[in-house]
Structure 1
């Protein structure tokens, strides 16, 4: 009877667990690195400071000289000036190094004031990323002596990644205005199985025909989510080039849905008078101009779409995506030249090509791949990427040759890559990674190239705060 009485005194429901103690955010470096962003943000009065530092080293079988203005410093994907094997620093190999602040402050009930300002930089040169500047650096260099370079929507601005303000409401959606990411660029990044600057080249798809379309400098974006569905729209406003845009008008619409582990998103896009910049590469420089301040441009009207999907069932994720882009001659020729998105760099009179697409150029791109979470701190990714173009030479011109010997860059051709990445997280804010990408070019894509393949094994560390 005594034992029964003791049993009757036991609780019939589980006692509530004591509340979790707050993490010791700033006691030591160990505590900082091993806490999440939500546990220990660098916040005050609704403003949060954040950043990323990504450094590494590796080897390119067809390498290039380092350029501190260029986002990646060196070429990871095979490019026209790529030549002999070279050991190199690998800046921003996993992701772009950035520093930014974001704002989230309650205005009234469910209404929030939001915003962000973010800059991207090269961690070895500490220079703001400036694609047009990297091109101008090579105006006096012939093809055999060029440093790494490439056009970019990041052009040395203090907000070269993003800089916007807006309002958000769970019911009515989110509206932002300012320097914003294009919807297509965000979808391609989100559905990339490897998602790396050095070990993926889906980034070359993100601008849908021109990398300058990856961001809009004066753009309105509206987003709305309802149950399992989401929609979004982007519209560029104002006088395009004069306000730091890469086109005279960019417009995109998005629709997507998530059902359990399956997600799908589609984006349609149109842009008018799109700019693709290039250097003079040591030839044809017009007299009387500072070679550090001028570039050539090819103009086009770009129409395209993106369709991407992924499915997750622990510990695996699979990804796939497709883009289609048509480049046509622009609506306007701008024979008198115009300013570029880079401060102090312009396209002089007569240097804008407005007839490059008398025959429309068609780009088809797709990718597929997967990710496996081996443990909570270790993952492996693999991806395959492919893009081809049509023969858009005007009649009666014909293509001759093969691979790097192809007669024209307007000939039909393709490029492809297969890549792998292993990522280890010893702390919540730290990634140690190793990866490799094998990239190839063929036909028109390879015309004028020194080599047609690059292999870029590399390793690095990324720290985020």
Structure 2
């Protein structure tokens, strides 16, 4: 994946974390003014602080937000889509023009939200998060299926940026869950939640950027070949830390009718810290996981509003994610590996099904259920380093390598290499 963004002006604030909310102490009553070093002492100090360093809290409730905008030049770009999360920071099938354009969400995703962490008994707390991602220029909620549908009538050369995404226009398209936390028994939550694999990936990515990291650009890594399963709309999630060990398990309740992008999905995580060394592993299974796509100027089915339909390819997936990170003085070293295996789905859904986006669905005849007669085996390995120059300034570098097998049903069809490969199902690799 060659990076297209050559130059950009990015205005960023550190993204929020789901940590215990901290109550802001009031200014000293005798002085009548905030402390000199308070993050509330000036607008710049407030904007330059993270939500954890400078929380807007009352009791156990904290309001947070993050804005990431920019303007950039893309050698292989397309105009920014109204519902898309980002510009074409990597070469996509509709790339091909040179553009100066607005470039939102290059470092992180712009979000708004509120989180709760309130004690209700000794050792027990009520917790919750509601967070939505948006485009800071259009102020629209990110909606992957809508960005695809908006290009149904346009051939590739005339499309705006569009992406299959787990964010589908919900007001809580990032996360929206509630639960309880116990000092001794762990954390149990229910609702719209990041997949365990997705939550971990940013922490183990040396670059950790939407525009400049292969892992950050595409959800196919933490979704094990399927972008739209990186969040589960009806997830039951349990987490437990014991000394230096950690365990988590997550399962999906309901299927497509409940706003999910798969009929079923479950993951389990194990991890540990040993001094400055941290590592985690995740195993995932999903049934009938849906990858959504635009018609891209192909013939549309009669009788449907083009802005309300998309196509889908289904797969049963198995995935493994292994991650490690080591801290040495001002350096952090990273290494990671993911493996995804995609099979034909358990069900065909000949009559179609709803997408996670309200009002957008897959019509009858628009489901591909035989794409993986030969299973696809998709592997990624990466390594990198981050060096902290100052408390608020760091430099990082990473190398990412993907490979896949030839999963065409008929052997001997593949020819060419690179951009001239005869079929996207041919074996090959790429790096960035």
The alignment's TM-score, normalised by the length of structure 1, stands at 0.83
Tell me the alpha carbon deviations over residues 71-90 of structure 1, each in whole angstroms, 9 at most, x when there is no partner.
Answer: 01x10011111112222222
Aligned to 1:427: none
SS in 1 for 2:290: strand
CA positional deviation for 1:25: 4.9
Unaligned runs of 5+ in 1: 1-19, 418-465
Residue of structure 2 aligned with 1:55, choices 59, 69, 90? 69
Aligned 8 A contact 1:266 1:308 in 2: yes
Aligned to 2:29: none
CA positional deviation for 1:26: 3.7
Aligned to 1:359: 374
Over 3 Å counting, the alpha-carbon distance change for 1:34 and 1:340 in structure 2 is closer
CA distance, structure 1, for counterparts of residue 47 and residue 418 of structure 2: 48
**Alignment partner of 1:229 is 2:237:** no
Aligned to 1:405: 420
**Alignment partner of 1:341 is 2:366:** no
**Alignment partner of 1:169 is 2:182:** yes
SS in 2 for 1:253: strand
SS in 2 for 1:85: strand
Aligned 8 A contact 1:23 1:35 in 2: no
Aligned 8 A contact 2:400 2:431 in 1: yes
Aligned to 2:213: 200
Tell me the alpha carbon deviations over residues 196-254 of structure 1, each in whole angstroms, 9 at most, x when there is no partner.
Answer: 0000011321211101110000001100001110000000012x100000101100000
Aligned to 2:7: none
CA positional deviation for 1:378: 1.8
Per mean C-alpha deviation after superposition, the further-off stretch among 348-357 and 394-403 is: 394-403
Unaligned runs of 5+ in 2: 1-33
CA distance, structure 2, for counterparts of residue 100 and residue 304 of structure 1: 30
Aligned to 1:433: none
Tell me the alpha carbon deviations over residues 439-458 of structure 1, each in whole angstroms, 9 at most, x when there is no partner.
Answer: xxxxxxxxxxxxxxxxxxxx
Over 3 Å counting, the alpha-carbon distance change for 1:188 and 1:26 in structure 2 is closer
CA positional deviation for 1:28: 3.3
How many residue pairs end up in the alignment? 396
Aligned to 2:118: 105
SS in 2 for 1:195: coil
CA positional deviation for 1:157: 0.4
Over 3 Å counting, the alpha-carbon distance change for 1:113 and 1:280 in structure 2 is same
CA positional deviation for 1:114: 0.1
CA distance, structure 2, for counterparts of residue 38 and residue 295 of structure 1: 39
Aligned 8 A contact 1:23 1:39 in 2: no
SS in 1 for 2:107: coil
Structure with larger RCO (C-alpha < 8 A, sep 6+): 1
CA distance, structure 1, for counterparts of residue 309 and residue 296 of structure 2: 12
Aligned 8 A contact 2:51 2:65 in 1: no
CA positional deviation for 1:38: 4.3
Residue of structure 2 aligned with 1:272, choices 281, 287, 293? 287
Residue of structure 1 aligned with 2:80, choices 62, 66, 76? 66
Per mean C-alpha deviation after superposition, the further-off stretch among 397-406 and 241-250 is: 397-406
Find runs of 4+ consecutive structure 1 residues off by over 3 angstroms. Answer: 20-28, 33-40
CA distance, structure 2, for counterparts of residue 170 and residue 71 of structure 1: 37
CA distance, structure 2, for counterparts of residue 53 and residue 35 of structure 1: 12
Aligned to 1:429: none
Aligned to 2:300: 285
Aligned to 1:330: 345
Aligned to 2:322: 307
Over 3 Å counting, the alpha-carbon distance change for 1:38 and 1:282 in structure 2 is closer
**Alignment partner of 1:138 is 2:124:** no
Aligned 8 A contact 2:327 2:333 in 1: yes
Aligned 8 A contact 1:222 1:233 in 2: yes
**Alignment partner of 1:219 is 2:269:** no
Aligned 8 A contact 2:128 2:177 in 1: yes
CA distance, structure 2, for counterparts of residue 305 and residue 148 of structure 1: 30
Over 3 Å counting, the alpha-carbon distance change for 1:31 and 1:371 in structure 2 is closer
CA distance, structure 2, for counterparts of residue 306 and residue 333 of structure 1: 28
Aligned 8 A contact 2:168 2:357 in 1: yes
Aligned 8 A contact 1:193 1:369 in 2: yes
